[in-house]
Amino acid sequence: MARDPAAYCLTYDQMLLSYHGFEKLIIGYVVPCFILFGFTGNIINLTVLLAPGMKTRSNMLLACLALADMIFLVFMLPHAMAHYPVFSFNYYFRKFYLGNKMHLIAVLNWSSAAAIWLVLTICVERLTGIRYPLSVRKSRSFHTYLLVSGVICITGLLTFYNHFSYDCMMKIFCNGTQPHAICMPVDSPVWINNRTNPHSQILRAYVRWSPRINAVVVVFVPIVLVVLSNGCLIMTLRQRQKFLQVGTTPSAVVTITSGSVALGHPDWQIYLVTTTTFMVVVGKSLNFVLFCLSSANFRQRLVTMTKERLMKRRTVRRFSCESSGVTSMTTAFSTVVDRKASKVNVLKNKQPKQRSQSLNDGVQSQKGRMPLREMRGMSVVNEALLPGTDV
């Protein structure tokens, strides 16, 4: 390979961002369908949960969970787009994706960790509401905001190592037309071109131990607590001879695989990472089904809101049509009135002139009909001043 990257052009295979057929099939073709389905479902979820009269503590937590799932699905989309040549060979997409791939993975793990802790919070909230109904009235809204903020901050700190766990070096080949990057683990003992690792021992230790702490705190502990809370919930409901279908455990189990989004290259790891990533996407897409569409109250509220909005649109359309019709009739009526008024004004303006002209014409005609004597008699004073003449 030439030392100057600008003088070397990469081949078609070297430009590909995905090399495995199974990964391309699952991540490139199947995952986008679940992303669209999950994003649409979570929007419906938020529309109902944030409606007036539905803002309870549990619904606020469910809304935060839906928002976390939407963030995960949105940041998963560039990874699916990278499997299509129209994007993988595009200069701007390659530069954005290769330069921010680790940050995208960090946001994915952050939103997934926040979602699993929100699942645990919802389970505990339901258990508390059933065993201690009066405690629900004592809870205030700022307690919910404080709890959600704490979950977001703690999970963000636990998954922050993903931003710099890999050191990606980008070079642009073929006269500045082919961006390409190579990512090396920060704690790797071997570096590029047989150089020593330039990172400090503290950073290497932090990156080395953070995934293990993350696996325990973000995955293992929440799953155990979710299972225990659901078990206590079922026991409480059986004691009261009630039935309630709780669907939180599958989401928590699915979320266990979110930490392995950025693993290595052997075939068995590619199959494992692709399968687990697909399970995570399915879990994020079906959370709104498990939590909300399984509730009869949610379905009834959704149908009611849909009917109200349809009726509102029809009413607005009818009102707009009626108002446009009234406006057109008013305009036509005002036009007719204006025309009649203008005609009346014209007639009024013409009538005095005609009368004065007719009077003047009458006087002139009378003068023309009068004999010469009468005309002279009318000017007697003038004739008296004249000298006498014999006729």
* pLDDT, one tens digit for every residue, the chain (391 residues): 446 777 889 888 888 888 788 999 999 999 999 999 999 999 988 888 888 877 788 888 989 999 999 999 999 999 999 999 999 999 999 999 999 999 999 999 999 999 999 999 988 888 887 777 766 555 566 788 899 999 999 999 999 999 989 988 898 999 889 999 988 899 888 888 788 888 889 999 999 999 999 999 988 999 899 889 888 888 887 776 544 444 443 343 333 333 333 334 567 888 888 898 899 899 888 877 876 667 777 778 888 888 888 888 777 666 666 666 555 565 655 665 566 566 556 555 655 544 445 545 554 555 444 444 444 444 444 444 444 444 3
CB 106 within 8 A of CB 159: yes
> Which residues have C-beta within 8 Å of that of residue 151, sequence separation ≥ 6?
114, 117, 118, 121
Report the run of H or E that residue 182 belongs to, with start and end. Answer: strand 178-185
CB 88 within 8 A of CB 24: no
SS3 content of the chain, % helix, strand, coil (to 5): 75, 5, 20
pTM over 0.85: no
CA distance 151 to 155: 6
Adjacent-strand bridge partners of 166: 185
CA 17 to chain centre: 28
